[in-house]
Amino acid sequence: MNAQSDKEEVVKKKIKTPQSLRGFKDVVPEHEAYWNAVEDAARNVATDYSFGRIRLPILEPTTLFERSVGKATDIVEKEMYTFKDPSEARVTMRPEATASVARAYIEHGMLNKPQPVKMWYFGQMFRHDRPQAGRYRQFHQFGLEAIGSADPILDAQMIIMAHRMLQGLGVKSKFLINSIGTEDSRREYIMELVSYFKQFRKKLSDVDKKRLTKNPLRLLDSKEEGMAELKADAPQILDWLDEDSKQHFMTVIEYLDEAEVPYELDPFLVRGLDYYTRTVFEIVQVDDEGVKSQNALGGGGRYDTLIEQLGGREDTHAIGLAMGVERIIRAMKNQGVVLPKDREIDVFFCQLGDAARRKGLVVFEEFRTAGVKIAEAFGKGSLKTQLEMADKRKSKIALILGQKEVLDGTIIIRDMESGGQEIVNMDKVVDLVQKQLGGK
Ligand code: HAM
C-alpha cells in the first residue's frame, strides 16, 4: 500500500454511515406483501361498512393533544415529538389520530351531514417511547371513527369489524372489554379508588404514588411489583356505573354474544388516553390455546364528550378504534401466515443479446399498456436463468426474443406448461398472447 492509498483508507474510516433513528424503521420491499395484505384488508372492511377515508396532517397544534389525549397522560407528558416551527408555533407530530378526526369533524361542519359520520385512516403515528419488540417511535395505525351516535350497536360493530379483519388475515384475536361510565359516575368511583389505595400508600412505587394524585385510574393498569395483589381487592368500576351506562354496556355485550366474537370482561381496563367514556376495549392476539400475548394489537372506545370539549356541539357522541399495523404484521408472522412475495404474472419476457434487450423495452411496455400481467429480467443474460425465473413465478407464458427474431420481426411464444413453442409475427404478439390467456 502506498502513502496515497493509506491516506484514503484513513479518510474512509472517518466517514460514518448514516443510520435510521432509533425506533424508526424502513419497510423494505421483501415485507411489502404483508403491508399490502393489511392495507387491502383495512380498505375492504372500512368500505364494506361505509366508512369514508380521511387523510390527516401529520403535524397538529400541540394544544389539540393536550386538550384531548390529556395533559396527565404518558403520551402527552413524555412521548410527544413537540417543537416550535419556524414561525414559533408549538406543533406536535401526531401520536394518534382520534383527536385529529374530532378536530376535522368540527372544522368541516360534519355535524350537518347524516349522523354518524364514519371515517377511517391509515398512517404514521409518532411516540417517543422506549423501543422494544413491537414498540416503535414511528408506527402505523389503521383507525375507524364513528361520530354522532350513542347507539351501542356501533360499539359492537367496531369490534366485529376488527375481529373479522384480523380473522381474514389469519390472526387469532380476543377482545378485552370494560365500561368506564360517564364522567360523573367515574368521579365517585375515583374517590373510592383513591381512598382504597391510600391505605397502601407506603407499598406503592413512586410511579404509582404519582398516579394516585394525578391520574388514579391508571393505577388499575399498573404493572408495578405487588400491584396485582392490591388490585385484586380494589373497587371495580362496573359496580359504580350509572344505570344508563350499565344498560349501554349490557347491550354491547349482548350484540357481541350474538355475533359470537370472543371477548373477556376486564374490570381493570382503563386505557391510557383521557377522552374515553363508557365502552373501552383492547384487542390482543391469542394462540391456539387461547393464551393472550402481551402487546395489544389495537384498542379503542367511546369518547362521548371529546367533540364538545374541543368546541363542537354538545352531546355529539362517538366511538372509534385503532390497530397497530406493525403489530398485526408481527402477529401474522408469529402465526405462520405466509403470503406470496411476488405479484402474480401471466407472461415472462426473456431476451438474448443487446438488440433484443433494446426492442424488449418497447415490447414490455406494449404488454403492460394492454393490461397483461408481465414481468422481465432485463438484467439477466442467460435464457436458462430467465426461464427458471418464469417457472418460479408460475408464469403461463414466456416470450423469447433473440437476435434473429429481432431481425425477422418475430418473437417466440412458449407455453410454460407444455413447453411447446411457436414463432409469431411481432405485430400480432400482444393479441395472440391475450387470446391464449383467454382475455380476448
Ligand atoms: P392506543 O391504544 O394508544 O389507542 O393505540 C392503538 C394501537 O396502536 C395499539 O393497540 C398498538 O397496536 C398500536 N401502537 C401504539 N403505540 C405503539 C408503538 N409505540 N409502536 C407500535 N404500535 C403502537 C389510540 O391511539 C386511540 N387513538 C385509539 C382510538 C381510536 N380510540 C378511539 N378511536
Class of domain 29-182+242-334: alpha beta
C-alpha cell at 231: 388490585
Superfamily for the 347-434 domain = Anticodon-binding domain (3.40.50.800)
Give the residue carrying C-alpha cell 454511515: 17
Going from the Cα of 56 to the center of ligand 1, the distance in angstroms, rounded, reads 16
CB of 284 closer than 8 Å to CB of 263: no
Mean pLDDT of 134-144: 97
CB of 218 closer than 8 Å to CB of 274: no
- Three-state DSSP at 10 gives helix
Q: Is the CB of 216 under 6 A from ligand 1?
A: no
Minimum-distance ligand 1 atom for the alpha carbon of 96: 25
Going from the Cα of 214 to the center of ligand 1, the distance in angstroms, rounded, reads 22
Other C-beta atoms lying within 10 Å of the C-beta of residue 55 = 8
Give the residue carrying C-alpha cell 354538545: 314
Task: Give per-residue pLDDT as tens, 87-123.
Answer: 999 999 999 999 999 999 999 999 999 999 999 999 9
Task: Give per-residue pLDDT as tens, 222-262.
Answer: 888 889 899 999 999 999 999 999 999 999 999 999 999 99
User: Using 50, 70 and 90 to split pLDDT, how confident is the model at 319?
Assistant: very high
**Cis peptide bond upstream of 116, omega within 30:** yes
User: Using 50, 70 and 90 to split pLDDT, how confident is the model at 438?
Assistant: confident
Q: Where are the beta strands (DSSP E) in 325-419?
A: 347-351, 374-376, 397-401, 410-415
Alpha-carbon distance 54 to 101, whole Å?
Answer: 8
Q: Report the length, in residues, of the chain.
A: 440
Helices (H), 183-272: 183-198, 206-214, 227-232, 243-259
Q: Is the CB of 98 under 6 A from ligand 1?
A: yes
Task: Give per-residue pLDDT as tens, 334-385.
Answer: 889 988 777 789 999 999 999 999 999 999 999 999 999 999 999 998 999 9
Task: Give per-residue pLDDT as tens, 31-69.
Answer: 999 999 999 999 999 999 999 999 999 999 999 999 999
Quote the pLDDT of residue 1.
Answer: 46
For residue 417, give every residue at least 6 positions away whose Cβ sits within 8 Å of its Cβ, in sequence order, or none. 396
Average pLDDT, the chain: 93
Q: Is the CB of 148 under 6 A from ligand 1?
A: no
Domain spans of the chain, in order of start: 29-182+242-334, 347-434
CB of 311 closer than 8 Å to CB of 106: yes
Hey, which of 139, 141, 270 would you mutate to test ligand 1's pocket, going by the most ligand atoms within 8 Å of its Cβ? 141
| Ligand 1, atom 33, residue with closest C-alpha | 320
Going from the Cα of 19 to the center of ligand 1, the distance in angstroms, rounded, reads 26
Q: Where are the beta strands (DSSP E) in 59-185?
A: 59-61, 81-84, 90-93, 117-126, 138-147, 173-179
Burial environment of residue 173 by CB neighbours within 10 A (0 to 12, 13 to 18, 19 or more): buried
Mean pLDDT of 216-220: 89
Q: Is the CB of 304 under 6 A from ligand 1?
A: no
User: Using 50, 70 and 90 to split pLDDT, how confident is the model at 5?
Assistant: low
Burial environment of residue 198 by CB neighbours within 10 A (0 to 12, 13 to 18, 19 or more): exposed
Alpha-carbon distance 323 to 299, whole Å?
Answer: 6
Task: Give per-residue pLDDT as tens, 142-190.
Answer: 999 999 999 999 999 999 999 999 999 999 999 999 999 999 989 999 9
Q: Is the CB of 154 under 6 A from ligand 1?
A: no
Q: Is the pLDDT of residue 12 over 80?
A: no
